[in-house]
Structure 1
Amino acid sequence: MSEPLSMNTTLATLRALAQAAQGPAAADAAAPAAPGADFATVFKGALEHVNATQNRANALAESFEAGAPGVDLSDVMVNLQKSRVVFQATLQVRNKLVAAYQDIMNMPL
C-alpha cells in the first residue's frame, strides 16, 4: 500500500504559497513561515510535493494493474483523485501568479 497523502501537508503548502504570493507584509501578519523561506523555495517545495503525490498515485495504479496483492481499487482511485486535486490547486495558484505578474507589468509608470 502507498503512504497516505496528508491533507494537512497539502493545505499547509497551499497556505504557504498564498502567503508568499501576497508579499512579505501579509506573510508577517499571518502564521510564521520557516525562517529564510523565500517564494522560490516555497514554490519549489510545492511542486516537489505535487510530483511526489502524482508519482505515488501512478505507482499504486501500476501495482494494481500488475495484480499486486494488498492493493485495492478504492485506494488507487482515492490516490489518483488526490493527486488531481493537488495538481489543480497548484495550477490555480500558478494562474493567479501569472495574472498578478501581468497586472504589474501592465501598470503605467
Structure 2
Amino acid sequence: MTVANVMAMRAAVLDRSAALRNIAPAAQGGVPGAREVGGTPAPSFASTLQTAVQKINANLEQEDVATEAYERGETTDIATVALMQARASVSFEATLQFRNKLLSAYKDIMSMQV
C-alpha cells in the first residue's frame, strides 16, 4: 500500500460522504426520517455499525499478518508494514472516540427529564 493508494482511498471516502449528504428523503409511506440509497431502503444503524466494526477488525487482522510476516523475514517492505500499522491505529482510535461520543450522548439522554 502506497501513499497514493491511501490518498485515493481518502478521496473516495470524501466523495461518498458528499454523495450521502445529497440523498433525497424516502418516498411517502416509508419510515419518517428514513432515506433510500439507489431505490433500496437505507440499512439500519445497527447493521451499519456492525459493518464498520467488521472492516476495522479486518484492518487490524491485516496489520497483524503483515507485522508477523515482517518479523519472520518473509517481507522486507517496512513502509507497507508501517502504513498498515498506522491505518489500523487510526481506525481503532476513531472507533474508541465514536464509542465515547455515543456513551456520552446516551448518558445525556438518560439524564434528561421528560
* Common topology (TM > 0.5): yes
Counterparts of 1:80-91 in structure 2, within 5 Å, are: 80-91=85-96
Q: How far does residue 90 in structure 1 lie from its aligned partner after superposition?
A: 1.4
Q: Distance in 2 between matches of 1:90 and 1:8?
A: 20
Match of 2:66 in 1: 60
**For the aligned residues, what is the CA RMSD?**
3.0
AA partner of residue 69 (structure 2): S
Structure 1, gaps ≥5 residues long:
17-23
Structure 2, gaps ≥5 residues long:
21-31
Q: Distance in 2 between matches of 1:40 and 1:8?
A: 26
Instruction: Report 1 or 2 for greater relative contact order, CA contacts < 8 Å, sequence distance ≥ 6.
Output: 1
Q: How far does residue 36 in structure 1 lie from its aligned partner after superposition?
A: 4.0
Instruction: Return the match for 1:99 from 96, 104, 107.
Output: 104
Q: TM-score, normalised by structure 2?
A: 0.67
Match of 1:76 in 2: 81
Count of paired positions = 94
Q: Residues 45 and 59 (structure 1 numbering): CA distance in 2 closer, same or farther, change over 3 Å?
A: same
Structure 1 segments of 4 or more deviating over 3 A? 4-13, 31-34
Query: In proportion to residue count, which structure has more helix?
Result: 1
Once the two structures are superposed, residues 9-67 of structure 1 have per-residue CA deviations (whole angstroms, 9 ceiling, x without a partner) of 76669xx8xxxxxxx74x74xx9486241111011011001100000011000000111
